[in-house]
Amino acid sequence: MMCTRLLTLLKPHAVKRNLPQICSASFSSLRRQHENITTDFCQPGSCFNKSDDHKQRIWSPSLAGHNYGRRFFSLTPAGIVNAAPASVQPYLRLMRLDKPIGTWLLYLPCTWSIGLAADPGCLPDLRMLVLFGVGALLMRGAGCTINDMWDKDFDRKVSRTATRPIASGEITPFRALVFLGGQLSLALGVLLCLNYYSIALGAASLSLVVTYPLMKRITYWPQFVLGLTFNWGALLGWSAVQGSCDWSVCLPLYVSGVMWTLIYDTIYAHQDKDDDLKVGVKSTALRFQENTKLWLSGFTGAMLSGLVLAGVNADQTLPYYCAVSAVAIHLAHQIYAVDINRPEDCWKKFASNRNLGLLLFLGIVTGTLWKKRNDDQYETQLNSISN
């Protein structure tokens, strides 16, 4: 009976008829195996839970570059990290190279200051923009490394941070310390390209970089200390161009940047407020709770006042104030629309601040170029009067 069945299957027409069914069954089996593997990584409550939208920022990079054993290169930050050698990837993730929003938020106050320091009718100093961009990348990476070294025990208890390289054991604390030394050495090389005043000013910020991660243990205002740290470039950018700070411009700009950080990082902190309560760390999100929008509105008013004062003292022109008005509208929408109880919406509003910073930078550049136009018109009027 078995021999008869075997001969039947070996007939050409039988093979031709059964081949699609065999292939389909094999493909279905492989697909089920892949789904089972994915399910194992994505159980409810896991930080790799695919159904949890705001956590797909963690889930996606680890799987997006793979498709049944094949890897595809992507020009996105996460794709670049995934395409790197496996031994290098944990260090790139430690410095958050796959999540560049923090680098942008550190870099943008530098661009504002560099733009305001430019001569009337001139574009910002391109060399300085490049140097500060490299410096922002390195110092943000160093700050994240310091933060993760301090917080490794807390990170293991929070789903969003449990997969960070130090908390998960991919990188030992000693190797993280060596990596930190390398980043700081490169950042020092960038700083040494500036004038002596700026070198001393930049070095003064290191104490804030080191101590900021400790603030969440002792105060409900760690976002304020982060603002002091992240907006140091508002002082440093001007001094790098002009040789020293003009405090009538730099100080209001710096205060505005600190207020901006309080806005976006309080929104960001609402993602983790439940986990923060469990592990015992503090934040402005826990301090403000349901009054968050009222506090953020106050910070917005202070930020806009500082930007106007900095613009007046820097002799800025109409395009600058148009940009400040657009910033006001952007912040009003953020605060009105954000749902502080939905982590995915908090992330979306937080990330939108990159566009806000770029909008202000564009206003500064066009406002500075407009100064030349007004000077030319004034000279033309003087010549016509003298003639």
Tens digit of pLDDT for each residue in 294-344? 999 999 999 999 999 999 999 999 999 999 999 999 999 999 999 999 999
Amino acid at 383: N
pLDDT for residue 161: 85
Q: What angle do CA 198, 98, 343 make, to 5 degrees?
A: 100
Token readout for 19 is: 């081949």
- Which positions of the chain have pLDDT values less than 50? 1-70
One DSSP character per residue, 164-177 reads STTTTTSS-HHHHH
In the chain, DSSP assigns E strands to 66-67, 70-71
pLDDT for residue 40: 43
Residue 131 CB contacts under 8 Å (≥ 6 apart), including other chains:
190, 193, 194, 240
3-class SS at 262?
A: helix
Average pLDDT value over all residues in the chain: 83
3-class SS at 219?
A: coil
Task: Identify which of 280, 165, 278, 295 has the alpha carbon closest to the alpha carbon of residue 224.
Answer: 295
Half-sphere exposure of 65 (CA within 13 A, CB side): 20
pLDDT for residue 156: 87
Backbone angles phi, psi at 358, to 5 degrees: -65, -35
Q: Are 273 and 285 in contact (CB under 8 A)?
A: yes
Task: Identify which of 236, 285, 240 has the alpha carbon closest to the alpha carbon of residue 264.
Answer: 285
Residue 240 CB contacts under 8 Å (≥ 6 apart), including other chains:
114, 128, 131, 132, 194, 195, 198
Place of tokens 């976002």: 223
Residue 129 CB contacts under 8 Å (≥ 6 apart), including other chains:
111, 114
Task: Identify which of 250, 258, 304 has the alpha carbon closest to the alpha carbon of residue 284.
Answer: 258
Whole-angstrom Cα distance, residue 219 to residue 332?
27
Amino acid at 280: G
pLDDT for residue 162: 87
pLDDT for residue 210: 87
Place of tokens 């390289």: 165
Amino acid at 45: G
